[in-house]
Amino acid sequence: MNKTVEAFLNDVWEEVTAIYARESKRILELKKQSRLQAGINDYLQVAWRKGKFNWAQGSIHIDVYQPFSWSDSSYKIEAGAYIEELTDELLTQEFSPALCRRMDTLFQSDELGPRFFDYRFDIVFVFEREQSELSLSHHLLNETKLVQLEKALGRFIQTKIMSDPPVLPSENDMFFFARHLINPDLMKQEQAEVEPLIRRLSDKLHSNRKRLDEWTGCYTSALKDWAQEHFLNQHFVRSDDYSTNWILRVESERQAPDPGEMDFFLFAALEIGGKEPHTRQRYLELAVQLDSGKAADYLKTGSGKFESVYKGKRMEGRNNDVTQTIDIRILSEEQQAYEEALDYLIGLLRAGFPKGYKLKLQSGQKHFLPLKKLAKSKLHQFFGNALQYPLLFPKLAEYAETAMEEFSWYEDVEPGEKSVMPGTYAVFGLGLCSESYFPLVCRYMKLVDTEHQMVQDSYAEAFVEAHGVKAEHMPVLVAILLGGNEEARLVKNITIDRPELAHALVRELENKKDYEQQLVLCRIFGSAQKLAKAAKKAEQPLKGGLEQLLRIWE
């Protein structure tokens, strides 16, 4: 070996082995490593970065994890005078092969521990000069580890995925399982192979919303990574590393998409859409740029599961389950038209149409509920219009019971403080119009996500405005207060100024948990001090009722 090459290699290898010694100690101390993780380290980059004023006055940069473009976490060491003697020929024919041989010997061994290296490993070498840059890459494979991982994955699928509940995978295993779904070394990138596994685990986690959300996040993230890094990068370029603005490559720089990869990309887009509808829409639009007729059909008419056009006597409808949109055109502003439209919506939802849809409405009426925080969307307008017909109340309740789904959101507004759970507009309207639907309001308030939805916080005020504060209404009023946002804002128009109201509130709170009691009382009185002050001023028997409430609070 050339002595100059040898000096460069020794400097690099001394630093790499020192870094790996520290990393090995850290990895050996890690607990709860997943059976689905063959190992941790899968990347090494060695780079000579030229100096600012003279290319030979730079430094050696070593990265043991793939670096981010926006940060510099490289280990940096100085090089000897030999750096100026290194030609591209020496680097290509001697240094790079020698580095790869040393790395492969270490990689194939268990010298640093059985979980130090993954089953595959990428080596990148970069050498910058004044006006040029040499870039070389090499890939290593540990076939023994790959076979072991394939067996571990097969056992995991049989014992943790296909088995019946209550057997479930750990959170750590779910992350790696999702990553293996899009790894062509381990699984065919075909919908027929991947989708049943996603569905099976989703079904097993259905009763555990927290774990289901974690799993959905895992496979959504994995599919997005495959879509961006494997598929889109072949055909598009991004304006920057984190932009969603993909620009089609010029024809000379791209090939026609592989049909199998295009099918899997479309499958990934639809799966991602369950959590990120806007990403799904963008991916399908990009597929259309690659002349995908299937993507164009998805955007135009949906998946084909639902009849996309409906023509009735008094209304017309269109739907697209892929873009999660429904169009309704009211031909005649009358009760029968809205009844027909509600039947249309209920039928779609019962057939599996996404409950978090967006509605486009053509109507001559424009009615909204008296809640300031509700967005005046077309969806809100539709239900506001339908609520003008009391004979439709049972149909609206039927719709609400069909539509309500915890942790789901209508798409009628941009995600944010005005987002609402499906069924919200119908439930809120019915609760303001008729006591018959108070049980429906109570079911809604138990279901609503008080951590992430805000608009129901103002419902108590509208409810009191519509019905007043009555002893017989205390169960539903307490349910509404408990369903409010967790910030527990004071409801200004609730006044407990009669003994029957105080005693009804006491009865309703007696079986509630401590934090629920405090939440309700805080929303009614503002603070314990204010309640104590009200009790002190009150006359019997109201005074006794307020003192009971104070004891509950304290």
Residue 470 in 3-state DSSP? coil
Residue 252 has pLDDT above 90, yes or no: no
Quote the DSSP letter at residue 455: G
Higher pLDDT, 319 or 29: 319
Higher pLDDT, 488 or 522: 522
Q: Which of 211-215, 254-258, 264-268 has the highest mean pLDDT?
A: 264-268
The whole-angstrom separation of Cα 141 and Cα 148 is 13
Residue 488 has pLDDT above 80, yes or no: no
pLDDT value of position 451? 86
pLDDT value of position 448? 93
pLDDT value of position 71? 67
Q: Please calculate the CA angle 526-530-535 and round it to the nearest 5 degrees.
A: 130
Q: What is the dihedral of CA 330, 335, 336, 340, to 10 degrees?
A: 60
Residue 532 has pLDDT above 80, yes or no: yes
pLDDT value of position 148? 96
The whole-angstrom separation of Cα 262 and Cα 254 is 14
pLDDT value of position 241? 62
The whole-angstrom separation of Cα 498 and Cα 295 is 64
Residue 146 has pLDDT above 70, yes or no: yes
The whole-angstrom separation of Cα 25 and Cα 116 is 10
> Per-residue confidence at 147, pLDDT binned at 50, 70, 90?
very high
Tell me the mean pLDDT in the region 195-220: 94
Backbone conformation region of residue 440, classed left if phi is above 0, alpha if psi is from -120 to 50, else beta: alpha
**Percent of the chain predicted with pLDDT > 70:** 99
Mean pLDDT for all residues in the chain: 94
Spell out the long-range contacts of 49-53 with Cβ–Cβ below 8 A and sequence spacing 24 or more.
49/128, 50/128, 50/129, 50/130
pLDDT value of position 243? 65
Q: How many Cβ atoms from other residues are within 10 Å of residue 477's Cβ?
A: 26
Tell me the mean pLDDT in the region 96-109: 97
Among 61, 21, 56, CA closest to 45 = 61
Asked whether 273 and 284 are in contact (CB, 8 A), the reply is: no
The whole-angstrom separation of Cα 24 and Cα 189 is 33
Residue 267 in 3-state DSSP? helix
pLDDT value of position 327? 98
Residue 134 in 3-state DSSP? strand
Residue 360 has pLDDT above 80, yes or no: yes
Residue 392 in 3-state DSSP? helix
Residue 32 has pLDDT above 90, yes or no: no
Specify which residues 128 forms β-bridges with.
133
Tell me the mean pLDDT in the region 465-479: 97
Please tell me the pTM assigned to this model. 0.81
The whole-angstrom separation of Cα 207 and Cα 370 is 35
Q: Please calculate the CA angle 219-221-223 and round it to the nearest 5 degrees.
A: 65
Structure tokens at 358: 């967006």
Q: What is the pLDDT of residues 440-461, one digit of tens each?
A: 999 999 999 888 899 999 999 9
The whole-angstrom separation of Cα 258 and Cα 231 is 10
Residue 286 has pLDDT above 90, yes or no: yes
